[in-house]
Amino acid sequence: MASKTDPHSHLGNVLITGGCGFIGSHIVEAVLREEHRGQVYVTSRNPNQHLLPDVIYKAADLSNPASINALISEIKPKVIIHTASPNSSDASLSDQHFHDINVTGTGNLLAAATAPSSTVQAFVFTSSIVVLANPPHHLVNESAPTWQPRDLRKQPNATPYYVSKAEAERLVLRANSPTLATASLRTCTNYGERDSQWLPGILYSLDQGQSRNQIGDGSNCHDFVYAGNTAIAHVLAAKALLDPGLAKGKVAGEAFHVTDGVRRRFWDVAHATYRALGDSTDFERDVRVIPGWLMWQVARVLEFVWWVATWGRRRPPIINKAVMSYSTEDYTYDIGKARRVLGYAPRDELVVGMERAAKWELEKRREEKERKRK
């Protein structure tokens, strides 16, 4: 076993940006399980949650080039896994904020990684299937087009978050070179412990008494991925970037889709999540179906009102065209490339993973209520 301070250990020192977040913390756990690695570092604006032993946490601001350059010079990572990103569903964030973190922040990190004195050899970017343009998607592969900045003015499903993630991915893949190997992993909706994406939306509708409501006929299929599977894919990509002989094909400069590899009806998963959270609705009998076309019309009206009220800077947080598309259309992806090239072999964790996620979230809420009472 290589020492954690051995500079010849396979992964070397690993820096995980956003490692205090949902997906990031699962990636930290996966890297910690690796035998041949150096020290694991995590950077976050405020590294104060999901902290793990044997990890060094650093506060850093990706929008500050000097801060990032100093960090890279100090810790000398061999691998960077860049997962830091704003929450796409946070209605308090401006369009500019998404660009500043996803695009400018990624550019600053790449500049530090490619500096003459840099020790970074591999750069793995946590992307998303939302970078893919023109939904609905039916088993789409990695050759499909991605959103462009001009699409914000022309395409109803393009959002500032989607476009900024696509711009960031292009920066990462263009940075691939003989001295810095880069790859991008496009994950779909993640679930699991510490979930900050899927569960909050389901909990909000449950708290509002909306669990019986279903938009559309429920036939649309989606891909989901357990965050632990996402984390394993990141480690596989990092290893293959450092040692191409571990892969069965080209990894450097490539994007890969990452899902559980199981097609599921979107509303079946929503109903399963409600049940995991303790909801007793009989979804075979008591579901109230709201016509999809009607909600699309409501979303269009609301978006126009918000566009006028905010001078084109914000979209309505709950009912908008992107949410309607996600609720009523197919979003499925081909992961054959990740299976074949990286050796990615996801486990179907939906039932137990959703139960663990619900248990974690409900316990967190219980603890928060107790703190407020004290």
Residue 75 sits in a domain whose CATH number is 3.40.50.720
Q: What is the pLDDT of residue 5?
A: 43
Kind and range of the H or E element at 67? helix 65-75
Measured between alpha carbons, how far is 180 from 161 in angstroms, rounded to an integer? 26
189-191 vs 224-226, strand pairing mode: parallel
Residue 2 pLDDT exceeds 80: no
Give the confidence band of 312 by pLDDT, cuts at 50, 70, 90. low
Q: What is the pLDDT of residue 48?
A: 84
Q: Is residue 297 part of a domain?
A: no
Q: Is residue 93 part of a domain?
A: yes
Q: Is residue 67 part of a domain?
A: yes
Q: Is residue 339 part of a domain?
A: yes
Q: Is residue 314 part of a domain?
A: no
Q: Is residue 144 part of a domain?
A: yes
Best CA proximity match to 135, nearest among 153, 156, 165: 156
Give the confidence band of 194 by pLDDT, cuts at 50, 70, 90. very high
Q: What is the mean pLDDT of residues 29-39?
A: 95
Q: What is the pLDDT of residue 1?
A: 35
Q: What is the pLDDT of residue 335?
A: 98
User: For the chain, how many structural domains are there in total?
Assistant: 1
Identify the weakest region by mean pLDDT among 92-101, 178-187, 198-207, 298-307: 92-101
Q: Tell me which range, 7-16, 29-38, 154-163, 190-199, is most confidently predicted by mean pLDDT.
A: 29-38
Q: Which two tokens stand for residue 85?
A: 């990103």
Q: Is residue 31 part of a domain?
A: yes
CA max distance for the chain: 64
**C-beta separation of 333 from 137 below 8 A:** yes
pTM over 0.85, yes/no: yes
DSSP for 225-293, please give it. EEHHHHHHHHHHHHHHHH-GGGSSS--TTEEEEE--S--EEHHHHHHHHHHHTT----TTT--EEEPHH
Domain that residue 68 falls in = 14-196+222-261+330-350
